[in-house]
Amino acid sequence: KCHRQALAFLEPKLSPLSQRGAYSAAMTQRRDLEVIADLVPAGSRVLDLGCGSGELLAHLVEHKGCSGYGVEIDDTNLRAAMARGIDVLQLNLEEGLAMFGDASFDVVLQLDTLQHLRNAEKMLVETARVGRIGIVSFPNFAHWPNRLAVMRGRMPVTKVLPYQWYDTPNIRVGTLTDFDVLARKNGLSILDSFGLRDGKPVRFWPNARASVAVFKFERR
């Protein structure tokens, strides 16, 4: 996943202008992860679904004394996570989490992953089943630049949604308000919710002002 790629994985032959843009995007992604890491209690047993290169889980292990597993399907990301010393399982999230028992983990992370899944609602419920606490993040389609693009008759292309409509891996689009409704429909209690923009938390009008939605929740 692009949000987990460390700067070292960026294309080395970028122009100086492109390098500055890539560096800025990588730093924003890193700050996003640091904000989300603060939501994870120290010493937690963590399951990171769609862990990418394992950057966040490695940070939690090193700086917060956490333990746990990553789940990833991409071979390149899998090798990168293993190189960081992360215990990672190669699984297809579309098949669910039947291998894990109820409340097997203190925290289950599903960051920048839910919008890629056909079984998004099922995986949200599974996240809450397997973990005592779930933390989800995804692109907020209600961010004002996205609304403006749609008003102009085009699908948005932004730093958080960098694809054209015909080649995007995102098969779902949603907003903070949409997720709030879905969570409550499935019996989840929202412990915290906010937006992220340029690596900074947004709590005032996040549905319009934030490019990324973040939710922390538990089963009722």
The DSSP code sequence of 124-169 is HHHHHHHEEEEEEEEEBTTSHHHHHHHHTTS----SSS-S-TTT-S
pLDDT tier, 220 (very low <50, low <70, confident <90, very high otherwise): confident
Per-residue pLDDT at 3 exceeds 70: no
Distance CA 98, CA 111 (A): 20
pLDDT at 25: 57
* pLDDT exceeds cutoff 80 at 17: no
Q: How far is CA 2 from the centre of its chain?
A: 10
Nearest-angstrom CA–CA distance, 113 and 170: 9
Q: Is the pLDDT of residue 13 over 60?
A: no
pLDDT band for 31, please (50, 70, 90 cuts): confident
User: What single-letter amino acid sits at 24?
Assistant: S
pLDDT digits (tens, 9 = 90+) for 93-138: 988 899 999 999 999 999 999 999 999 999 999 999 999 999 999 9
Alpha-carbon distance of 73 to 50, in angstroms, equals: 7
pLDDT of residue 183: 96
pLDDT value of position 29: 72
Mean pLDDT on 160-171: 92
State how far the alpha carbon of 199 is from the alpha carbons of 64, 99, 141, 144, 219, in Å: 20, 34, 17, 17, 28
Of the two residues 25 and 210, the one the predictor is more confident about is: 210
Average pLDDT over residues 57-81: 94
Output the pTM of the full model: 0.85
As a whole number of angstroms, the longest Cα–Cα distance in the chain is 51
Distance (Å, whole) CA 142 – CA 25? 20
Single out the residue of 115, 1, 13, 93 nearest to residue 47, CA to CA.
93
Report yes or no: 120 and 149 within 8 Å, Cβ to Cβ.
no
